[in-house]
Chains A and B, each alone.
Chain A
Amino acid sequence: MGIIEAILLTVITAATPLVLASLGELVSERAGVLNLGVEGMMVMGAVLAFAVTQATGSPYIGVLAGIACGALFSLLFGFLTLTLVANQVATGLALTILGLGISGQIGEPYVGMSGIKLQPIAVPLLSDIPFLGPLLFRQDIIFYLSIALVFGLNWFLFRSRAGLKVRAIGDSHASAHALGIHVIRTRYLAVMFGGACAGLAGAQLSLVYTPQWVENMSAGRGWIALALVVFASWRPWRLLAGGYLFGAVSISQLHAQALGIGIPSQFLSALPYIATVVVLILISHNRRMTLINTPASLGKPFVPDR
């Protein structure tokens, strides 16, 4: 394998959790719910995926556990913001704080334990293509899922009737409600989808990216995922591009450190965060574009009138 292939492989591994977590958040925000708890759901998915993998010996059951855990954990957020109409920003923060706390406690016995890596699956024939084969067709199941989700969601949101309803709710929950669309029920499903995706992203971290458990191992990726949704102006395709861009930035610091460039490692580690800020500035300074793209009832509470 050439050096370029090796680098691209690490970019894919770094980008996959970002793509997954932000895809989930994209659906939730398209339905008008701003869930700032991505970081918390992600880290919960990571610890549970690791723990279940250790208990069962099968990383596949671990992946399922991560997904289920993320979805269940997001229900907590859903109950507060949708049923009890609590402030979405504050509740999302609460979810992140709680997730970091609980995962630290669950994960304590697993610190320093070596994990079981999710093995790649080679697609017959396609994986033999030179260069592209090993990159795209000799990957683990989570990578395939992330790509399938980009295609699937793009179709769902813009080509299906259910997707149209989701977008209608996000743009005007009052009108959608008047048309007889179940606003709260749909939002619950969207939030749970977001949680499942964040949980899957977490499972990727503890089973593929670094197959071990480290406290706070999501390291701000949940927040970067939130920024990515804005960057992608709520469109799956742009999100895929953005995710890979950020994957490349965050992995470039490791390669730069390996090459021994004379820049302190802390500055290189800060790169993804700086890049996030810069990208947010570039995207949002055009006020009109932001206004057009943002789901109009994003973050606003909805109480059905009776």
Chain B
Amino acid sequence: MRIELEKRANPSTLYSILSPFLALGLTVIAGGIMFALIGKDPVSALYSFFIEPLLDIWSLHEIAIKAAPLILIGAGLSICYRSNNWNIGAEGQFIMGAIAGAIVPVVFHDWHSPLVLPLMLVFGMIGGALYAAIPAFLKAHMNTNEILTSLMLVYIAQLFLDWLVRGPWRSPDAYNFPVTRDFAPEAILPELIASGRANLGFAFAVLAAVGLWLMMRYTLKGFEITVLGQSERAGRFAGFSSKRMIWFSMLLSGALAGLAGISEVSGTIGKLQPIISPGYGFTAIIVAFLGRLNPLGIIAAGLFLALTYVGGEAVQLTLSVSDKVTRVFQGLLLFFVLSCDTLIQYKIRLVFSRIGQSSEGGAH
């Protein structure tokens, strides 16, 4: 038996809608098998992983908190990936955004003004964008592969943050703990509604995603992104510059990752510490693909992956399963999304006969 692909005349609309759900279904099944393998009842484990967090207000707020950075970063990445720029260093841009934004409340902690928070957010975006400018410059002008450079910069950003909070920015009254001073109340991102912790970051995320969706759909820029992504040559004939597109997409996704970083630090953590992200920058890659690189789809995908974080914490408490299970779920999900996406462009046929096997030589 083997698998043969046959190219469809047109991409299938049905499967482009169905494929994310197919992938979700397969992930849940694979997850159930995994729980059974480690000796837990799969039904109750899946229930507390995927359903229970949806049933109380506290968990819903947690989901919104975790979805915010995922959507912000994922929406930016979708623009990059659509234009064929493989920024995989969003985690580093997230950290640099957090650091740049934190300059205001940490270094100028005596300055109290309503301007503090807006300034932090702007600094955060600039920090993320500047950090993404490094791989952008290297790709556009030095012809250097952006995948590797943007990823290497993640490690460098993590070490830089580690040095800052253990060295020059360490709080004088934290008993040698590696943290900065707590942000003043005016440097904290306000909560959205009275019922829980979810903060303005979620609103930023939804706004950014909707904005990008409008841009992709109704503006020339959106068209330019699509054309250059599908064929650089065709884009050049249309007068679009792929160099400018590298700059545009990388700076945009960097700025959004930076905004996510400062929002997380200001809204959720309230200070800088050595680790400020459970891998949001990498999980957002999954979000971007699960959302089919469509900013609106990314809102839904971000909420779902946030659920896997919260669900992971839930099974850790109720079933004493390691929270590493979250990472496994996320990896499996991306695999299934990518394989189901094949159905959009191709018909898949299982071939059982032995005769067909000679067709590789072209005898068909």
Contacts and interface: CB of A to CB of B under 8 A. Distances in A.
Q: Do A and B come from one complex?
A: yes
B148 A86 contact: no
A91 interface: yes
A105 B325 contact: yes
Given A90-B289, A269-B159, A76 B324 contact: no
A69 interface: no
Interface string B323-336: 01111111110110
A271 to B, nearest CB: 10
B338 interface: yes
A39 to B, nearest CB: 9
A273 B331 contact: no
Contacts of A101: 324-331
A36, A90, A230, A274 pick with most chain B CB within 10 angstroms: A90
A83 B138 CA distance: 34
A285 interface: yes
Contacts of A226: 148
A220 B189 CA distance: 34
A108 B324 CA distance: 9
Nearest to A264: B163
Interface string B72-104: 000000000000001010000000000000000
A122 B189 CA distance: 63
Interface stretch (A51-59, A92-100, A201-209, A236-244): A92-100
Given A93-B88, A102-B328, A223-B152, A266 B163 contact: yes
Interface string A71-94: 000001000100111110111011
Interface string A196-235: 0000000000000000000000011001001100100000
Given A104-B324, A280-B148, A306 B364 contact: yes
B339 interface: yes
Contacts of A230: 145, 148
Contacts, number: 146
A98 B159 contact: no
Contacts of A84: 3, 5, 338-339, 342, 348
Interface in B250-308: 282, 285-286, 289
Interface of A: 36, 76, 80, 83-87, 89-91, 93-95, 97-102, 104-105, 108, 178, 180, 182, 184, 219-220, 223, 226-227, 230, 264, 266-267, 269-270, 273-274, 276-277, 280-281, 284-285, 287, 290, 303-306
Given A98-B331, A98-B334, A230-B148, 18 more contacts: A36-B147, A86-B341, A89-B147, A90-B289, A94-B334, A101-B325, A104-B322, A219-B155, A223-B151, A264-B167, A266-B159, A269-B159, A270-B159, A273-B152, A280-B145, A281-B138, A281-B144, A290-B143
The 5 closest A-B pairs by CB, nearest first: A98-B331, A101-B327, A266-B163, A94-B334, A104-B324
